[in-house]
Amino acid sequence: MSRSKLDVMYRRLLLTKFFTRGWGDLDQLKRLLEFKKFVQNRDLCCQLVDTHFRNYPVAIDKSSVGGDCKILEGHFTSPLTHILPGLLPREAETARFQLILPVRWPTEQRPVCIHLAGTGDHFFWRRRTLMAKPLLKESGIASLLLENPYYILWSWQ
């Protein structure tokens, strides 16, 4: 398969490198693939959620109201640390998020869109400003923005 010239040029412009020390321990990858088979079974996955994660603890670190939205910032421990201990690096065990909510919900339904960070998407600003707030204003849809754990580590150095 040939690479496009755009892909080659983009990779040269990136300042950060991915997987510079390989993909990690092969045994851990095997554990993850075995777990994938488990969660692909809908009944087993639902049972896992009902048994262990129905009232999972989430910490709210900061709450602010601005204009027509409320922003909650918080964190939680990745459930994967309980299911497959030792799989995640320490930096990835804690997930950080922002929840963008309306001050008043326009309807009884309370839709929420989950925004995962793309490659190179550092912090929350871009997704909050360009996607979450317009989605809330135009359609009354709240947003949950998850941060990539390695970018959090990178931003503190």
Look at residue 16 in the predicted model and tell me its pLDDT: 64
Residue 156 has pLDDT above 60, yes or no: no
Which pair of structure tokens corresponds to residue 153? 């580590």
Which pair of structure tokens corresponds to residue 136? 């809330």
Residue 92 has pLDDT above 80, yes or no: yes
Distance in angstroms (rounded) separating the CA atoms of residues 70 and 1: 47
Determine which of 3-7, 17-21, 141-145, 146-150 has the lowest per-residue pLDDT on average: 17-21
Nearest Cα to 152, choosing from 94, 87, 84?
94
Look at residue 153 in the predicted model and tell me its pLDDT: 47
Residue 54 in contact with residue 112, Cβ under 8 Å?
Answer: no
The alpha-helical segments, DSSP class H, found in 64-122 are: 80-83
Give Cα 59 to chain centroid, integer Å.
Answer: 15
For the stretch 58-68, pLDDT in tens is 999 999 998 88
Distance in angstroms (rounded) separating the CA atoms of residues 95 and 23: 21
> Whole-prediction pTM value?
0.74
Q: How confident is the model at residue 10 (pLDDT cuts 50, 70, 90)?
A: low
Domain ranges of the chain: 5-156
Which pair of structure tokens corresponds to residue 18? 């991915």
For the stretch 126-142, pLDDT in tens is 899 999 999 999 999 99
Length of the chain: 157
Residue 145 in contact with residue 112, Cβ under 8 Å?
Answer: no
Starting at the edge strand that comes first in sequence, how are the strands of the sheet with 59-66 ordered? 59-66, 69-77, 94-102, 142-146, 112-115
Average pLDDT, the chain: 83
Nearest Cα to 35, choosing from 22, 48, 24, 25?
48
For the stretch 93-134, pLDDT in tens is 899 999 999 999 988 999 999 998 876 677 888 899 999 999
Q: How confident is the model at residue 157 (pLDDT cuts 50, 70, 90)?
A: very low
Q: Which amino acid is at 139?
A: S
